[in-house]
Structures are given as structure tokens and as C-alpha cells.
Structure 1
Amino acid sequence: MAERLVAVGRERVLVTGAAGKIGRATVADLLAAGHEVVAVDRVEPAEDLGTEFVRLDGDDLAGTTAAVRGCTALVALASVPHPGTMPPHELFANNTVTPFVALQAAVDAGIRRVALASSGSAYGTAWSPEPTTVDEVPVHEGAPLRNAEEYGLSKMVTEEIGRMFCRRHPDLSVAALRFHWVATREEQLQRIASQRSAPRRWREELRELWGYVDLRDAARACRLAVEAAAREPYGFQAMNVVAADLLADEPLEELLAAHAPQVVVRSGGPPAGGAFSIQLAAEVIGWEPRHSWRDPD
């Protein structure tokens, strides 16, 4: 399916978490598409983002309200990106208060289009104590959310925050983007090289179900989520943002048969063989992954 073109005017987009990995890429993508960006983060970016930057904490409602004034859309990416960096209760508090504050400031300012950073960890993959917690593949957005640690739980709650705001504001569109491991091409190739040259770490690989998404594709999903809602509001939608293929040489059926035979393999997944359904993102916001670690240099 070709990417759907959405006719939108010049946006002024507030991007929270703009100094982070996805944030920097999203700012660059929005600017390249001709939009204006107000970049917000609690830390100074390592390099010039090429746009207005506001330093403030994610729980600063007054500061966020001031920063969002005059904006037409919100991309809320501010988040602690994985567990282990701080005590669990602090991570959970940060990752739930921050999106609530951003959404509150946005809707109070009249914004009705939001892209919200969720994660495949909401399913229980990536950081789960056990290697895998899914019943079947491809993993659809309606699969049970069986997270067993604070990061995945915080993302599940983040989605519920988005749902609540959509119930309160029926004209609001919120795309909760369930990113998988967001990686640059160099990081993808390093992971493949490690698989090929060292003993396989099957527990870790099973946790992630060999999923990933190229950083450029993740950034583009953020932009498309707010652009698509300008053409056709869609309420609350949680959608997978994952590459169409696996971060592995072997096919999915072979990997699961050998290491997780209890997982049922059904039809309807990406033709490239990935473990996650990405059809919903194509239907709602016109997003499809353009990049793979298999691409020629």
C-alpha cells in the first residue's frame, strides 16, 4: 500500500522529549516537511535542533501551557525510555504524569490532534521477566497487555490517559504509537552482526520477538499521525509501529518452532515476515515502514 498523502497546511507542532532519540528525529522530519516546531525537553539537546527550544520539566503544566500556545498539534514523546535508570516508582510516575500534563495543556489550548509515544512493551515484550508473553503472532493491537514491569505498565497507563482525554473531548484524535525497539541503521546492523558472530541470546531475542523499527520510520509515524487527523479525525487509536520484517536471518515460523512452540502462528502478518501486525497504522494514518536492515547500502 502506498503512503497516503494528506493535504494539510503548515503546522506548528509542539514536540515534547525533543532532545531524545525519537524526539530529535521527529523534529527533523517535521521541519523537512515544512512545518514549524516548538521543541521542549527538560535537558538541553546535544546539538542545535534548528528550531525554537524551550527547556522545562514534563510535570510543569504552566510552562507547557505557555509553550503550546499557538500550536496546532502535539507530539508527546517525553518519557524515560527503559527500566533500570531510576527506581521503579519514579519511572512510573514520570512516564504517566508527563503525558497527562502535555495532553492537558494541549486540549486547554484547543489542540485536537496528538501523537503519543507508547511502546510494544505494553504487551509484555522487551523487558518482561519471561522470554515471551504473547499467545499468537502476528501480534495485533487487541492482544492482551501482560506487562510485568514498570515501563510497560507506564505505557499501558499512558494509553488509558489518551483514551480518557478522547472521552472527555469527542473531537480529539490521539494516536498511541506502539514503537518497538527504535534503532538507527547502524544499530540494526550491529545487532545482526552480533547474532551471527556470538552465541545467540535466545531469552533476550524472544522477549523482543525480533521486532524493531527504523528511527526514520518512527519519526515519520509521528508526523503522519497528526497530519492524518487533519483530514479525518479518528478518536483514540493504539497502533503498532514496527518494521515489516524480523531482526533476524531466520523466518519467524522456524524461530518460534524451535524456541517458543506454544505461540500460535496465524496468517495475516506483514508479507515480509514480521511478528507484529502493522495494518492498522496503514489504515488510520497511512504509515508503512520504508526501511529495513536488509536494505542495500
Structure 2
Amino acid sequence: MTTRVLVTGAAGRIGRAVLELLAARGDEAVALERHDPGDLPAARVVTGEAADPATVRAALDGVDAVIHLAAIATPERLPAEQVFGQNTLATFTVLEQAGLAGVRRACLASSMAADGLPFAGRELHPAYVPVDEAVPVQAEDPYALSKLVDEETARTMARRHGMGIVALRLPYVGGFEERLNDFAAATAADPGAHARGYWAYLETRDAARACVLALGVPGPGAEVVCVCAPETMAGQPTAELLERYHPGVEIRAPLPGRTVPVDLSKAERLLGFSAEYRLQV
């Protein structure tokens, strides 16, 4: 049976990979974007804002599931009020309208930055590693706060509409042909630049696959899941990196070699996900 999936932010890096994966699976996609670039592999393209209820209602016609990716991805280029307001309103609108339309499965892009480290204005360290979905948050920037609110919105909508929703905490995402290799090279040259992101990464096609797998998690209920590659993009052993950049952090599990200091057990257990595309460092 063909599934029809609404993909918001469909022209973005992950969005395009999701559309390609859905097409390869024989599923139909409805793409929601501000402007139609004219080359999206979707059965239908709806233009408009993900925060606009009428636009979202039109996009949801005949849809079975939702992958919500539309968001401002950094707090560094736009006013704080816009970053927080636009991200949270779009997530609320998409999930609310999906619930009202009878859609019961959704995935949304959260971020590993939800813990507050990557965009903080001061040096912060995690409470422990490997970090997991329950690590204490230290958010003080509008992007991290917006993702935390998105995760709470997912829990609310799961209760409100009986939906099954998975919020994926994604790391730095890129394709080998785009920017991942360059970022890895920069990280190898200066590991401190990515220390707040735990030197984690995910290749674009793996990110898309995680999104699609998340739609298979039964509801009702909402889950937050950390997803990344199992090794860091840094060349040094993880233990050495932690000693240098997160000194004194509690280490709760062995981290041999370049093991990423992120607990991926929930992704494996709940989604059946492990990354297939790995950097050669």
C-alpha cells in the first residue's frame, strides 16, 4: 500500500533526500515549501508558510504521515524572536493541523543543539557522556529553546490527538558531495570548533532514512531520539578529545577509539537505525 507523506521544508538538504527516498520506496510525497524550485520529486508541491494553518490544511489533503523539517536552523543570522517564534509556531501548526486531519504518524527534526551547548554565549560542558535524550539541558539561545519547545509540542499533540510522533535530535548533517568532507577537515584541524557538538555528524541520506523509519514507530506517544554516526569526524581518540575540551566530564560508558560520545541505543532499539554512510578520517 502506497503511503502519502507530507514533507515540510522539502527543498532543504534533508528534505530533498527524504523525497528521493520516498520515491525509491514507491511512496508518494507532498512537498511544502515557501517557493517551488521546480525540481522537487513530489506528487504535489504546495507553496506557503508552514506556520499558516490554511496552507498546511491544503498540503495535508490525502496525507497519511508527516515529516516536518521546515525551520530556521541557526540563531546566528536572524533576530532571536524570529528564530524562536517561527520555529515553534510552524511545529505547532503542522502537528495541530495534522492531528485535526486524522494523521496519526509524524516525525520532526529536533537537534542535538537542544541541550544548549553549540550556540551558547559561554563555555559549557555536558553533565555526562555519552549524552542521551535525558541529558540535562543548558539552553540559553533561541534556537535550542525552540527545539525544546518543539519536543514538548510533540508530547502535547500525542496526548491531544493520539498521534505517534518522533523528534529526532540531529547533529551536523551534510552530504559527501556538499560540505561534510570540508567540515570534517576543518574539525580535524581544529577539534575545539566542534567540541560543543561532540564531533558528531550524519550523512544526508542517513538523516532521510532515520526520518522515514521514525514514521514506523506506533503511537500514541512522543519520543525524542538522538541520531548520528557511531564515530566522530575528528581524527583523535574520543577519550583524548574529552580530556582536552570537556575536562572532568563524567564518563558513563566506554568510548574506545573514535566512538561518538552520544548514546545511540534508543535509535537502534526504537527505529532499527544505524548509520550506513561513514566518513573516512
Does the alignment pair 1:267 with 2:256? no
3-state SS of paired residue (2:199):
coil
Cα 1:294–1:134 change in 2 (3 A) is same
Q: Supply the distance in 2 between the matched residues of 1:131 and 1:244 (Cα, whole angstroms).
A: 25
Q: Which amino acid aligns with 1:84?
A: E
Of residues 141, 158, 168, the one that matches 1:166 is 158
Of residues 221, 237, 255, the one that matches 1:235 is 221
Instruction: Map 1:76-95 onto structure 2 (within 5 A).
Output: 76-95=68-87
Cα 1:94–1:126 change in 2 (3 A) is same
Give CA-to-partner distance per residue, 1:129-150, whole Å, 9 cap, x none: 2344311111011111211101
Identity of aligned pairs, percent? 35
3-state SS of paired residue (2:32):
strand
Cα 1:225–1:195 change in 2 (3 A) is closer
Q: Which amino acid aligns with 1:277?
A: D
Give CA-to-partner distance per residue, 1:107-127, whole Å, 9 cap, x none: 111000000110011111321
Gaps of at least 5 residues in structure 2 are none
Q: Supply the distance in 2 between the matched residues of 1:92 and 1:15 (Cα, whole angstroms).
A: 21
Give CA-to-partner distance per residue, 1:36-91, whole Å, 9 cap, x none: 00000112237333432110112210121121011100111110111122111011
Give CA-to-partner distance per residue, 1:217-271, whole Å, 9 cap, x none: 1000111111x23xx4361100001111101001111111122212122216699
Of residues 203, 208, 215, the one that matches 1:219 is 208
Give CA-to-partner distance per residue, 1:167-196, whole Å, 9 cap, x none: 213x31000010111111242221233345
Does the alignment pair 1:64 with 2:53? no
Instruction: Map 1:1-297 onto structure 2 (within 5 A).
Output: 9-45=1-37, 47-169=39-161, 171-186=162-177, 187-196=179-188, 198=189, 200=190, 202=192, 204-226=193-215, 228-229=216-217, 232-233=218-219, 235-267=221-253, 273-294=259-280
3-state SS of paired residue (2:225):
strand
Cα 1:192–1:35 change in 2 (3 A) is same
3-state SS of paired residue (2:72):
coil
Q: TM-score, normalised by structure 2?
A: 0.94
* Matched residue count: 280
- More divergent stretch after superposition (84-93 vs 155-164): 84-93
Q: Which amino acid aligns with 2:78?
A: M
**Contact between 2:238 and 2:258, CA under 8 Å: does it hold in 1?**
no
3-state SS of paired residue (1:185):
coil
Q: How far apart are 1:288 and its partner, in Å?
A: 1.3
Q: Supply the distance in 2 between the matched residues of 1:276 and 1:106 (Cα, whole angstroms).
A: 31
**Contact between 1:270 and 1:276, CA under 8 Å: does it hold in 2?**
no
Give CA-to-partner distance per residue, 1:250-297, whole Å, 9 cap, x none: 1111111122212122216699611111111111121111111128xx
Bigger relative contact order (CA 8 A; separation at least 6): 1
